[in-house]
Amino acid sequence: MKHTTLVVAALLLLAALALAPDGPALFAAQSAQHAHATPTPAAQPEPAVTAAATAPRAIDPEPSLADLMARIESLEATVAELYAVHESAHAATYDEVNAVNVAIYLLDSAGLHELETRLVNESKILAGDGGQVGRTGRLLATVAWPAELAGEAISLQEKLAALAAALADDDLATVKPLSTDTHVAYHLFSHNAQMWLAQAVEGAMADGPGQTNRVNTALYLLDGVDLHGLHARLSEKKEILPGDSGPVLQVARLLSTVDWPQDLADKAATLHETLSALADALADDDLKTATPLAEKAHDAQHEFSHLGQDWLAEGAMDGHHDGVEPHDEKPTEHSHGG
Q: What is the DSSP string of 233-265?
A: IIIII----TTSHHHHHHHHHHHTTS--BHHHH
Say how far apart CA 92 and CA 206 lie, in whole Å.
Answer: 6
- pLDDT classification of 48: cutoffs 50, 70, 90: low
Domain boundaries, given as residue ranges, for the chain = 87-206, 207-338
Higher pLDDT, 79 or 41: 79
Whole-number pLDDT of residue 88: 44
Q: What is residue 14's three-state secondary structure?
A: helix
Q: List b or e across 297-328, with b for residues whose CB sees 16 or more CB atoms inside 10 angstroms.
A: bbebbeebbeebeebeeebeeeeebeeeebbe
Higher pLDDT, 83 or 249: 249
User: Is residue 19 over pLDDT 60?
Assistant: no
| Radius of gyration for the chain, computed over Cα atoms and rounded to the nearest angstrom | 43
Least confident of 217-226, 250-259, 315-324: 315-324
Q: How far is CA 244 from the centre of its chain?
A: 30
Whole-number pLDDT of residue 206: 73
User: Is residue 8 over pLDDT 70?
Assistant: no
Could you report the per-residue pLDDT of 115-126, keeping only the tens digit for each?
999 999 999 999
CA 98, 103, 108, 109 torsion-angle sign: positive
Whole-number pLDDT of residue 107: 93
Say how far apart CA 93 and CA 296 lie, in whole Å.
Answer: 31
Give the N- to C-terminal CA distance of the chain in Å, as an integer.
132
Say how far apart CA 229 and CA 237 lie, in whole Å.
Answer: 11
Of 331, 215, 214, 222, the C-alpha closest to 269 is: 331
Q: What percent of the chain has pLDDT over 90?
A: 54
Contact 254, 101 (CB under 8 A): yes
- pLDDT classification of 312: cutoffs 50, 70, 90: very high
Give alpha helix (H) positions in the chain: 2-19, 23-35, 51-54, 65-90, 94-108, 112-122, 129-141, 147-168, 172-202, 211-223, 227-232, 245-255, 262-283, 287-318
pTM over 0.75: no
Q: What is the mean pLDDT of the chain?
A: 80
Say how far apart CA 25 and CA 31 lie, in whole Å.
Answer: 10
Contact 164, 148 (CB under 8 A): no
Highest mean pLDDT among 8-22, 209-223, 289-303: 289-303
Higher pLDDT, 169 or 209: 169
Q: What is residue 93's three-state secondary structure?
A: strand
Contact 204, 91 (CB under 8 A): yes
Whole-number pLDDT of residue 277: 97
Whole-number pLDDT of residue 203: 75
Average pLDDT for 268-281 = 96
Q: How far is CA 64 from the centre of its chain?
A: 42
DSSP 118-170: HHHHH----TTHHHHHHHHHHHHHTS---HHHHHHHHHHHHHHHHHHHHHHTT
Indicate left, alpha or beta for 172 from its phi (over 0: left) and psi (-120 to 50: alpha): alpha
Cβ-Cβ contacts under 8 Å for 108 (sequence gap 6 or more): 190, 246, 250
